[in-house]
Amino acid sequence: MSKRSGILEFAVLGLLRESPMHGYELRKRLNTSLGVFRAFSYGSLYPCLKTLVAQGWLIEETAPDSDSPATPLAGRRAKIVYRLTAAGKEHFEELLAHSGPDAWEDEHFAARFAFFGQTSKDVRMRVLEGRRSRLEERLEKMRASLARTRERLDDYTLELQRHGMESVEREVRWLNELIETERAGRTDNRPGTGRADNDNNQENGGRPESRGTA
Amino acid sequence: MSKRSGILEFAVLGLLRESPMHGYELRKRLNTSLGVFRAFSYGSLYPCLKTLVAQGWLIEETAPDSDSPATPLAGRRAKIVYRLTAAGKEHFEELLAHSGPDAWEDEHFAARFAFFGQTSKDVRMRVLEGRRSRLEERLEKMRASLARTRERLDDYTLELQRHGMESVEREVRWLNELIETERAGRTDNRPGTGRADNDNNQENGGRPESRGTA
DNA sequence: TTCGTCATGTAATGGGTTACATGATTAC
DNA sequence: GTAATCATGTAACCCATTACATGACGAA
C-alpha cells in the first residue's frame, strides 16, 4: 500500500543517495541531468517526498544554520533538505536489484541505467540482459503482427512500423555492445551480493567505454 | 470542454473513418494494426465512445437484424456498431489539420502519421516539418544541458544521454528522407485546402518510398 | 457442459499535470 | 523597489489502467 510513484520515488532516492538536497534542486536535477527521460512537476514531487519521509526512507532537515553564516556559499539559506536514511538506502538497493516484470520497460530501464554508476556489476548485467530480452519479445510481436496484417496496411502505416522496429533493433545492438563491454571489464566486482556495505563501487569508474561521441 | 482523450479520440475517429466497427474490434485494431505506438484498454475505449456519440461525431447502430435470422454469419448477433457522422468526419479533418503546440509530441505525431494515407499532401508536409523542428529544439536543449553539466556526470549517464541524442538525430534523418520523398512526389495534390471535400486523396497511393526494409 | 473468445461495460485507483497561492532572496 | 528566480506547497482535474461484473456464442 501507499505505492507512490515507481519511477519518481526511485529517481528521488537515487539522487538523494549521492547527496542531500531540497525539493527545488531535486526537481531540476530530475529534469536536466537525469531529465532526458522524463520531466516531473512540483505537484508530484512534493507529495512524493512526503510519503517517502512517512515511510522512513528520508528525513527532513530544516537545516538550522540560523547561527552559522560560516559557509554562505553552500546553500543560500537552507530550506528543507532531504537526506536518505539507512533504511532508505537499503530500500533503494532493493529497488535496484528487484527484477519485476515491468522493470524492463522504457522509463524504468532508463531510470535504472541512470544510476548504473552506483550499481554493482552483476546487477548491471541483469538489468541490461533483462532489457534486451524484453526488447526481443517486443520485436517478435511486431514481426508476427506485421506478418499477419501485411498487405492490409497502407504504405505509411507500414513505414511507421518499419521505423519503429528499426529503432528497437538499434537499441538491441546498443545493449549488446554495453553487455560485451561489461563482460570485458574486471570480473572482481563483488561489493557484497545483496548488501551494499561498500556503498559505492566505482572500481572501474563505471565506464561503458563509449565509442567516440563525436 | 469535455476534452476527452486527445490521442484515443483521434485514433477512434480515424479508424471509424475507414469503416464502421464495434468497440471490441476497434480496440484490437488500435493495439495491432495501429498499436505499435500505444495500447488502450476497454476502460478507456468505451467511455470515450460514449462521449464521442454524445458529441454527435459517432452514431451507435444497434444493427437491427431483430427479425432477420437470414444471415446469422454476418455478425453473431449485431452488437453496437459505431459509424462516423458527417460532423465526425469534419471534426477529424480539423484534428488532422490542427497544429497545436503539442501536436508534434511523440504519440501525437505517431497517431497522425498512422493516418497519412487519408491525409492531404500539404498537411502531411506540415506535420512532418513540425515534427522535425520539434525534434531539433529538443536536440538543442540536450546539447545545451550536456555542455553545461559535462564532467559532472558519470560515464553511464553520459552514455545514456548520448544514446538518446543519437536516437533523436536518427529520427530527424528519417524525417528528412520522408520530406524529400514527399517533395519529389506529384505536386498537384490539392483536394481543397482546408476542406477535404474529396474525402480520400490517395492519388499517389500514399507511398513513402521505403528504402529496403532488410 | 465447460472453456475460450467475443462483447460491453463500471468503480476504484493510479500517477501524474495545471493552475493556483504564498513568500523569501537576489540582481538590477 | 521591483522583477526574476528560488522555494514550498495544495486542489482540481486528466487520462488512463486494473479488477471486477455480466453475458452470449461456438467449439471440444
CA-CA distance, B105 to B124, in Å (whole number)? 15
Mean pLDDT for B196-201 is 41
- Nearest CB neighbour to B117, from listed A37, A116, A154: A154
Here the cell at position B90 is 469534419
| High-pLDDT (> 70) share of chain A, % | 75
Whether B154 shows a pLDDT value over 70: the answer reads yes
* Residues A157, B34: C-beta atoms closer than 8 Å: yes
pLDDT in tens, B88-105: 999 999 999 887 778 899
Cell 501507499 -> residue: A2
A158–B210 C-beta distance less than 8 A: yes
Mean pLDDT by 10 residues, chain A (214 residues): 73 94 92 78 95 94 54 54 96 88 89 92 94 92 80 83 93 97 70 40 43 36
H helices of A41-195, in order, are: 42-54, 86-97, 106-114, 121-149, 155-184
How far apart are alpha carbons B21 and B73 in whole angstroms?
Answer: 16
**Under a CB-based contact definition with an 8 Å cutoff, are residues B97 and B24 in contact?**
no
Find which of B102, B138, B154 to mutate to test the A interface (most A CBs within 10 Å of its CB): B154
Instruction: Tell me how far apart the alpha carbons of residues A143 and A126 are, in angstroms, rounded to a whole number.
Output: 26
How many residues are given for chain A? Answer: 214
- Whether the per-residue pLDDT at B113 is higher than 90: the answer is yes
- Please state which of the ranges A52-56, B19-23, B202-206 shows the lowest mean pLDDT: B202-206
Say yes or no to pLDDT of B127 above 90: yes
Asked if B164's CB is within 8 angstroms of A205's CB, the reply is: no
**CATH number belonging to domain A6-63+78-114:** 1.10.10.10
What confidence score (pLDDT) does residue B144 get? 83
Please report the pLDDT score of residue B177 as a whole number: 97
Looking at residue B103, its pLDDT comes to 87
Q: Let me know: does B86 contact B61? Beta carbons within 8 Å.
A: no
At residue B63, the pLDDT reads 60
What does B43-67 look like in DSSP terms, one character per residue? HHHHHHHHHHHHHTSEEEE----TT
A101 contact to strand D (CB, 7 A limit): no
- List chain A domain ranges: 6-63+78-114, 121-184
- Report CB contact under 8 Å: A36, B213: no
- Give the relative orientation of helices A106-114 and A121-149 as an angle to the nearest 10 degrees: 160
What pLDDT, on the 0 to 100 scale, is given for residue B48? 95
pTM for this model (two decimals)? 0.82
pLDDT of residue A214: 32
Interface check A98 vs B, CB under 8 A? no
Confidence of residue B3 (pLDDT cuts 50, 70, 90): low
- Give residue A4's pLDDT: 60
**CB burial of residue A97 (10 Å; 0-12, 13-18, 19+):** middle
Cβ–Cβ under 8 Å, residues B117 and B206: yes
Q: C1' nearest to CA of B102: which nucleotide?
A: C17
* Cell numbers at A184, concatenated: 570485458
Contacts of residue B18, Cβ cutoff 8 Å, sequence gap at least 6: B118
Residue type, A132: R
Q: Is the pLDDT of residue B124 over 90?
A: yes
Helix (H) or strand (E) holding B66: none
> Quick one: CATH architecture of B6-63+79-101?
Orthogonal Bundle (1.10)
> Which residues of chain B (59-78) touch nucleic strand D at CB < 7 A?
72, 76-77
In this predicted structure, what is the pLDDT of residue A201?
Answer: 43
Of the candidates A15, A17, A14, A18, the one whose C-alpha atom is nearest the C-alpha of residue A28 is A15
